[in-house]
Amino acid sequence: MNPRVIGTVRSHLVSRDQCPKYGDTSMPPVWIELAPDFEPAATDLQVGDAILVLTWMHKGDQAVLRCHPQGNRKLPMRGIFSTRSPDRPTPIGLHAVRILGREGLRLKVHPLEVIDGTPVIDIKPDNATLQGTAEFSSLVNPDTGQAILSAARDGWLRGLFAGFNGNVSMRQGERVVITATGSAKGHLGPRDLAVVDLATGTPLTSVRASSELAVHLEVYRNQPLARAIVHTHPPKLLALSLRGEGPLLDLPLFEGRVFADKLTRVPAHRPGTPELGQAVGVASRDFEAVFMDNHGLVCRGETMTQALGLSEELESLAGIAMRR
């Protein structure tokens, strides 16, 4: 009995002879066209997700029980269950891929080495990526994850983070990837990243998000240009604010005027509260940097480099202001 088909692969490969014996990352991506009936099941699939695609290898010979591995007759025959041959009693293919694009019910994935017209019988999240210390969650795009880890490390090296304070995030479609609570920013690993739903804040991974999640969510919700956020506790800027000597960064320097115009401040609110998140979110509509009195600095950017770079500029100017 054939399983229920949920979609079809649209591939440049048209015959078994053209298919590589193992996943070939040099191949172009292919498309999976899902059947309309399964639209509700695909609602949460997003670009960047790691998924397992199960196919029905309809051209396979279901009578085969032994074969030459990789079709190489110079190799001794082996039982079919110890090979990945498409010829097998139940010809189910298992493919670890990432979603590179999405157009409605069409998913662009890579690498998937099956012939055009191959039926798709199921899709699952690739939770196996959580088992390796060098792998990100199936919900974290590797480029996003690496950008967060690198920014946290760079900020720590520049003294913007100390110990376990601060947090870093990036928007990934309708999700937010953010550093975990209690994580040391100078020593992050893939398991220190949490994923939450942007609209509701619902956690999508078992990793607990930073206590300042509300700030990040409100900035993304209020400012469509925000794609990355860096929240630091910059010692010079904090020390300058405690002097209470008027506006922050009131310097007769060209750079001072340029960057001071990007900065505003909000009154003190208890960290981690909705009130703080709402105050910073509203301020982010007009400013790229928000100083939270008695707490720290939040910088947004269209890229992680912009967000971190603005944090560095403001801390550098604070150092100059303190020496006046």
Q: How many residues belong to the chain?
A: 324
Give the integer Cα–Cα distance in Å for 172 and 259. Answer: 27
Give the integer Cα–Cα distance in Å for 67 and 87. Answer: 9
Give Cα 255 to chain centroid, integer Å: 33
Active-site entry in 212, 218, 288, 312? 212
| Residue 245 annotated to the active site | no
Residues near 99 by Cβ (< 8 Å), separated by ≥ 6? 45, 46, 47, 48, 49, 51, 107, 108, 109
Residues near 37 by Cβ (< 8 Å), separated by ≥ 6? none
Positions marked catalytic: 212
